[in-house]
Structure 1
């Protein structure tokens, strides 16, 4: 392997291009790390020095500034005097999609995540057009991307969105990075792939030819637009495909929903998918990275997935990996439950039964006779004083149950109250009758196998599902004046 690095972004230049876990397959001796000959691991890196007004320029990766910003700006200026023929425009768009697929279907899903296998002709094609996107070699790109997945949102993530949206977009390439701080990853499989090794060894030649020379020759030979091919099919097309790819690192970690997990920043959004050839369903991707799909619904935009599937039909791709739908739905359900728990925790469910004071029956009756609006349902005492005037059934009906066991009355003896009524009643709890119906109901439920499992949310609070309030008795006993 050569000692030089893929220059640019051409993406960031990696001064310590290391294979952390070299392959031992078919090689008796471990490989030596492949490093830049000018790299001195003992010398303090510039990032370890605070940035000041005097040394700020040393922190800037000027080569990448020129390649990522300078050359595209030059192309935009040159485009002012360069006519755009429709044939060149069509070619530029088509080549944009081809080189974009080289990154999304090739660099990303094939090599970084091995989500499917490809035949040699398809590998060569993807390595070639991927090089035309000018985003570094496969080996360098996949190495950083695996670190990004392994250390998402941490200091070891080479383009963590926690450092800012612009930083994750391209700031990490415009500013120098300390290679010692990037998380370690295993790229032994890439070192054993002859296409990856060949592209890495001849990366600059691949970039120059596929990035600039090929579009110039194609437009020049076919309709005599050599300059247009160079400007529009080359420079500007590279700029747009790079910015689209960079959105996977930035926009996909900032815009959208998190249907599978919200512990880290990846998000799903159709806008990001449109910009990135289907890579916008990023929350799904970070949860199930070895799935060859990003979009799992038929209506979601994922041309990369469709291309891989089409290549399979042509015999060019095989072993397309998919996570079991059972596991995917489990993740989706768990995240939904987490959101429900968060919303549930903000609602008033009444004082938990175990925190209520225990009252003797005589004490309950005595307080009700002395003007306190207390009513007992299923052994739970409720203070309905402020609700009597608002009772939909009228004051007389609710007053008739004060100081009594109104379990049967509340559960169908007079009126079978709704789930909403049980929920509202729970917010009025003030005590529990000693040995009252609350105890008998739970004993009976246990004996009959009803509601014997008490679920708790993520905060440890009991989950009260529809119809499962302790005051809900499906076969109410007869009312009595005493417990």
Structure 2
């Protein structure tokens, strides 16, 4: 790294971007790492230090506790009422993440009344995925630095890392991108939940389901195991799929520069968060799925909340902007496909040949045919000509424009495309192609367009060898 690089970094650092380093609101003792000292992630993982790279607290809650729950489930019969409650509580705690942490607080895609905020914060706590402030800060960094080193759960580091590795392995706080969370710091519900997060988790994730099942129908242990531990595990794994599966499986109808993708399977797993390519392009839209038939229960729930007065100011991107993104991506794919095809030597790269030289070459054994001023070598094609050898042979060394464009046969678009791959020269003498080349050089009356790679777009019926047929009209009286 040279002085130029250091100077560039200094210039970038001097430009204010409205963000600040993440500052915990709870006791400073929880932030034990001194940023001035090397972080454990700066060292390679070895047999002697591997355990130092593991975030044991997260590992305990994400892996060890669910394993304990599975063992407990072996000795705990699942009652129907408990199963129904566990599913309903799973759905609501999932909404706490998708509708609350994600669409409300991370992207402010709609506004919620105080009762709804409190409910979403409570349900988010029941999912045990961190506070709304911590979760939203990381997610904003993910959007701002998608697929880069500053992305907290970049899929470029591996599918398993983006799914769970980033949680169970320690992260260097200096490498996580900065984001603006001043609005979250001004939200009393977010701040209260953040400061009292551990209490919220214990009550909402474990105590509430145990009490409901225990007081409701006497299934205390089932409420703790199924409504508590195993439900938490399912909610967490479903949410983690947004970080992993949604960046790996599916299509990219709006932009393919980054990894987010759309797929119905991911949507089914994540309560509608599976249309991730759309979401990354239009993050402030309260919807993930924009078609009525696409699965997005989070969108439907937010819309329902609006109808009953709990939510308002639902944001939607204009359909015109959405369609522009879709069309641009389609065009990009077309351009990529077009670049793989042989469209023949561009006209401006062909040599200009006199008529006499053209005729002489044709008499010397080369099967040359001129159509609208472009010379084509059809030597290898004569035997494959669908119209027979005699017809194509009769045009060698001649101007076959009329023959090719309806005089003998009005050739198809495919025939014009195939003929373009046989170009070898342009006739001198004011022919149409030479005039076209001159107009191109002078930028006069240029009607063609180029694709994103700078290549001329040849649409159906646009080959230079095609002569537009005159419109039939009535005879003079």
Query: TM-score of the superposition, structure 1-length normalised?
Result: 0.89
1:221 aligns with 2:215: yes
Match of 1:185 in 2: 179
The residue aligned with 1:113 is: 107
User: Counterparts of 1:22 and 1:344 in 2: how far apart (Å)?
Assistant: 46
Q: Residue 239 of structure 1 corresponds to which residue in structure 2?
A: 233
Q: State the Cα distance separating 1:382 from its structure 2 match.
A: 0.3
TM superposition shift of 1:342: 1.2
Q: Partner residue of 1:263? A: 257
Q: Which residue matches 1:331?
A: 325
Map of 1:40 onto structure 2: 34
Structure 2 unpaired stretches of 5+: 1-17, 471-477
Change (3 A) 1:212 1:32: closer
Match of 1:10 in 2: none
Where does residue 82 of structure 1 map in the other structure?
76
Q: 1:348, 1:440 → 2: CA distance?
A: 22
Measured in 2, the distance between the counterparts of 1:280 and 1:162 equals: 19
Out of 223-232 and 457-466, give the one that drifted further: 457-466
Do 1:260 and 1:287's aligned partners in 2 also have CA atoms closer than 8 Å? yes
**2:189 aligned residue:** 195
Q: How does 1:118-197 map to 2 (within 5 A)?
A: 118-197=112-191
Mapped pair 1:275 → 2:256: no
With 452-461 and 126-135 compared, the bigger mean Cα shift is at 452-461
Q: Secondary structure at the match of 1:180?
A: coil
- 1:360–1:440 CA distance, 2 compared to 1 (3 A): closer
- 1:437 Cα shift? 2.7
Report the 3-state secondary structure (helix = DSSP H, G, I; strand = E; otherwise coil) of the residue aligned with 2:174: helix
2:245 matched residue in structure 1:
251
1:247-289 alpha-carbon deviations (Å, 9 max, x no partner): 0000111111111111111111111110000101111111111
Q: How does 1:61-72 map to 2 (within 5 A)?
A: 61-72=55-66
**1:441, distance to aligned residue in structure 2 (A):** 6.7
- In the alignment, which residue of structure 2 is the partner of 1:14? none
Question: C-alpha separation between the residues in 1 aligned to 2:185 and 2:448?
Answer: 53
Contact 2:20 2:179 in 1 (8 A): no
- The equivalent of 1:372 in structure 2 is 366
Q: Could you tell me how far 1:475 is from its partner in structure 2?
A: 4.2
Residues paired across the two proteins, number: 448
Partners of 2:57 and 2:33 in 1: CA distance: 17
- 2:66 alignment partner, SS class: helix
CA change 1:21–1:393 in 2 (3 A) is closer
1:245 Cα offset (Å): 0.2
Residue equivalent to 2:3 = none
Structure 1 unaligned segments of length 5 or more: list them.
1-19, 24-30, 477-483
Rate the CA distance shift 1:353–1:212 in 2: closer, same or farther, 3 A.
same
The answer (yes or no) to whether the contact 2:427–2:434 under 8 Å persists in 1 is no
SS in structure 2 opposite 1:341? helix
Given that 2:343 and 2:417 are in contact with CA atoms closer than 8 Å, whether structure 1 keeps it comes out as yes
2:348 to 325, 334, 354: 354
Q: Go from structure 1 to structure 2 and tell me whether the alpha carbon gap of 1:87 and 1:405 turns closer, same or farther (over 3 Å shift).
A: same
User: 400-409 vs 423-432, which deviates more?
Assistant: 400-409
Per the alignment, residue 16 of structure 1 pairs with none
* Aligned partners of 1:378 and 1:436 also within 8 Å: no
- How far apart, CA to CA, are the structure 1 residues paired with 2:417 and 2:214? 75
C-alpha distance 21-428 of structure 1, shift in aligned 2 (>3 A): closer
Q: Quick one: distance in 1 between partners of 2:418 and 2:167? A: 57
CA distance in 2, matches of 1:342, 1:352: 18
Task: Find the aligned partners of 2:439 and 2:313 in 1 and give their Cα distance.
Answer: 51
Q: Cα offset for 1:32?
A: 7.7
1:410 equivalent to 2:422? Answer: no
Q: Supply the distance in 2 between the matched residues of 1:80 and 1:392 (Cα, whole angstroms).
A: 74
